[in-house]
Amino acid sequence: MPKVVALAGGVGGAKLAFGLARNLPPDELTVVVNTGDDDDFHGLHVAPDLDTVMYTLAGVVNPQTGWGRAGDTFAALKGLKEAGEETWFQLGDLDLAVHIRRTHLLREGHTLSEVTRELCERFGVRHAVVPMSDNPVRTIVHTPSEKLSFQEYFVKHRCEPEVRSLEFKGAGRATPSPYFEFAVARADALVIAPSNPFLSVDPILAIPGVAGALKGIRGIRVAISPIIGDRAVKGPAARLFDQIGGEPPSCVAVARRYVGLCTHMVIDRTDEHREEEIGRLGITPVVAQTLMNSNEDRVALGRAVLDLIASST
Amino acid sequence: MPKVVALAGGVGGAKLAFGLARNLPPDELTVVVNTGDDDDFHGLHVAPDLDTVMYTLAGVVNPQTGWGRAGDTFAALKGLKEAGEETWFQLGDLDLAVHIRRTHLLREGHTLSEVTRELCERFGVRHAVVPMSDNPVRTIVHTPSEKLSFQEYFVKHRCEPEVRSLEFKGAGRATPSPYFEFAVARADALVIAPSNPFLSVDPILAIPGVAGALKGIRGIRVAISPIIGDRAVKGPAARLFDQIGGEPPSCVAVARRYVGLCTHMVIDRTDEHREEEIGRLGITPVVAQTLMNSNEDRVALGRAVLDLIASST
């Protein structure tokens, strides 16, 4: 089987990671996860995308939301509010325990990579889930009037403020995590999950050396479009194309962002008529069902991506 | 009304503090709480005695145990175990939230005194509840074979190991908290709650200058015996008299520990026959019902202590 490096953000990335993991043995897949969304809540290190991927692969994710833990309760959050903490960021009790554990291990001197590996072992996740970097990178959203942390923009303000630009604070001084570098060096293929290009993938690419290293992966490099028609499956990807992407949202607009990085792009059946446009960008379009509503959908899309990789290797 | 400084440990101290607080306006009572029991769990600063006093005064304490929160749940603890933390120390979700808040504020640079004040305000506790010190003091239990942290001894090993000696690590370098010093300087009376003399009161007295300052309080200085007959109302006080106290447990043995510090001692009705022995130690015995099974009992004992203070001032 080919050795695959997949770049992922939160829910969309986690769903594809699930589909790939069901089709690949553990040592053939490394899921590299955006940590630009990480933040400090209540003095605890919260890594939403890492947890979403880990919970999804472990089968304990909340199936309704796609993030958080299935069947979680919110007693401690009530206690935090009562004790004077700001609690607009929803943290369930089981989820909170993971943040406490992560923070505990980080404070003891372990790297985020080590902590993530330890947590994944605890959760029975055998495929490698690795942070993009062990250095802090924080996505800052610049609006016309202020700078917001990613979670302020995403959760507190529900993606409503107009985005003027994004800043990946710390990225310039960050290095890729050791497992990320190792996985890229031995990879046969790159997969970019249907995650937000601006908020999930760009922070990874902003780390010096990463884009070049990814382009050096010998096999095919395939992205799955998170835009179907003119809409994002989830989150603010579509409106970000309008606000900072320079063109209306479409799978073609996504492809344009990956020119030079990707050799192939998976687009949804409903976008079949845009194959030619994508081809003109020097990217080979591949049509599949990209909407992942069930585990079967996820496994099927993972299978399709791996078939593509196998047929091109 | 007299200005009272009360020294307290956990459950017994909290019950008396409740009884005093119901009989005194907020600015007439300062409850100084042992922090030798404080410990780090999951990277969080847990202050069991401070919380027991705060929860009791706030009316949110678990009435069954005397510590922890009424109606608390333990979802996060389950999550902590699953994530790889040791979870022999029971922390409810609402309780955990307080430790998260405390740790958050401490990490931001606030002192334990400031944090405790902030938490008490949040919980509507208007009487002053103050840590004995803002410096770390940790009670270490020396057994024949090992050194245990206080909570290992008390909770993990259920007070079963034989105690050879106690060490109050850090006490020699600690200073009394600012509110403690301030309260002592203006106090008309000292009350030592029916807390464990070895584990709750001695750590406070181990801070340099504290014993001398307390002896300088002009009014009466009264302790309530935590031993009734030859038994402790709760906890290992009785067995500690046998193991390190040099004599069997009794209210007289308690009185002997407070010679020079206390002028009066409240003993239970069942110990009335020992009045003379206590008198011979230079301590005036006062008989009352000291068992506090209900809020009425607590208020009555508080009233009795305050009547004693008023009649002697």
pLDDT digits (tens, 9 = 90+) for B54-101: 999 999 999 999 999 999 999 999 999 999 999 999 999 999 999 999
Q: Are strands A264-268 and B29-33 parallel, antiparallel or unpaired?
A: unpaired
Consecutive H or E run containing A264: strand A264-268
Is-contact A146 A181, C-beta < 8 A?
no
Give the 3-state secondary structure of B54-77.
HHHHHCCECCCCCCCECCCCCHHH
Say if B47 falls within a structural domain: yes
Closest CA to B49 of B185, B201, B184: B201
Q: Domain limits at A35?
A: 4-144+168-312
> Rg (Cα) of chain A, in Å, rounded?
18
Candidate from A83, A85, A97 with C-beta closest to B76: A97
Q: Which pLDDT score, from 0 to 100, does residue B284 have?
A: 97
Average pLDDT, integer, range B108-132: 98
Q: How many CB pairs under 8 A join A and B?
A: 110
Query: Identity (one letter) of the amino acid at B122?
Result: R
User: Which residue pairs, CB below 8 angstroms and at least 24 apart, start in B46-51?
Assistant: B46/B89, B46/B91, B46/B99, B47/B99, B47/B102, B47/B112, B47/B116, B47/B131, B48/B10, B48/B151, B49/B8, B49/B9, B49/B10, B49/B13, B49/B14, B49/B200, B50/B116, B50/B129, B50/B131, B51/B95, B51/B98
Of B82, B84, B93, the CB nearest to A75: B93
Q: Is B47 an 8 Å CB contact of chain A?
A: no
The reply to whether B44 falls in a domain is yes
Residue A155 lies in a domain: no
Q: Is B73 on the interface with A (CB under 8 A)?
A: yes
Quick check: is B163 in a domain?
no
For residues A178 and B106, what is the distance between their CA atoms, to the nearest angstrom?
33
Which string of DSSP letters, residue by residue, matches A137-150?
A: -EEEEE-SS-EEEH
Report whether pLDDT(B1) > 80.
no
Residue-level pLDDT at A233? 87
Query: Is residue A159 in a domain?
Result: no
- Counting as low any pLDDT under 50, the low residues of chain A are none
Per-residue pLDDT tens digits for A78-136:
999 999 999 999 999 999 999 999 999 999 999 999 999 999 999 999 999 999 999 99
- The per-residue pLDDT of chain B, averaged, comes to 97
Please report whether residue B143 resides in a domain: no
CB-based contact B75 A78, cutoff 8 Å: no
- Tell me which residue in B42, B75, B122 faces A93 most closely, judged by beta carbons: B75
The predicted pLDDT at position B313 comes to 65
User: In the prediction, which pLDDT does A313 show?
Assistant: 65
In which band, very low, low, confident or very high, does the pLDDT at B241 lie, cut at 50, 70 and 90? Answer: very high
Residues 139-158 of A with CB under 8 A from B: none
B210 and B41 in contact (C-beta within 8 Å)?
A: no
**Is the C-alpha dihedral spanning B269, B273, B276, B277 positive or negative?**
negative
Task: Tell me if the pTM is above 0.90.
Answer: yes
Residue B137 has pLDDT above 70, yes or no: yes
Q: Is A6 helix (H, G, I), strand (E, B) or coil?
A: strand
User: Do strands B227-228 and B189-192 pair parallel, antiparallel, or not at all (unpaired)?
Assistant: unpaired
CA–CA dist A115, A105 (Å, integer): 6
A124 in contact with B, Cβ within 8 Å: no
Residue B151 lies in a domain: no
**How is B225-285 classified by DSSP, letter by letter?**
-SEETTEESSTTHHHHIIIIISS--SHHHHHHHTTTT-SEEEEEGGGGGGHHHHHHTT-EE
- pLDDT greater than 70 at residue B264: yes
- pLDDT value of residue A226: 97
Distance from CA of B172 to the nearest CA of A (A): 27
Torsion angle defined by CA atoms of residues A223, A197, A213 and A309, in that order, rounded to the nearest 10 degrees:
-10
Q: How many domains does chain A have?
A: 1
- pLDDT value, residue B312: 84
ipTM: 0.92
Q: Decide if B103 and A43 are in contact by the 8 Å CB cutoff.
A: yes
Q: Residue range B226-233: average pLDDT?
A: 94
Question: How large is the average pLDDT for residues B178-196?
Answer: 97
Output the domain CATH number for residue B258: 3.40.50.10680
Answer yes or no: is B229 within a domain: yes
- Contact list in B for residue A75 (CB cut-off 8 A) is 72-73, 75-76, 92-94
Q: Do A76 and B83 touch (CB under 8 A)?
A: no
Q: How much is the average pLDDT of B144-155?
A: 96
The pLDDT of B161-166, averaged and rounded, is: 97
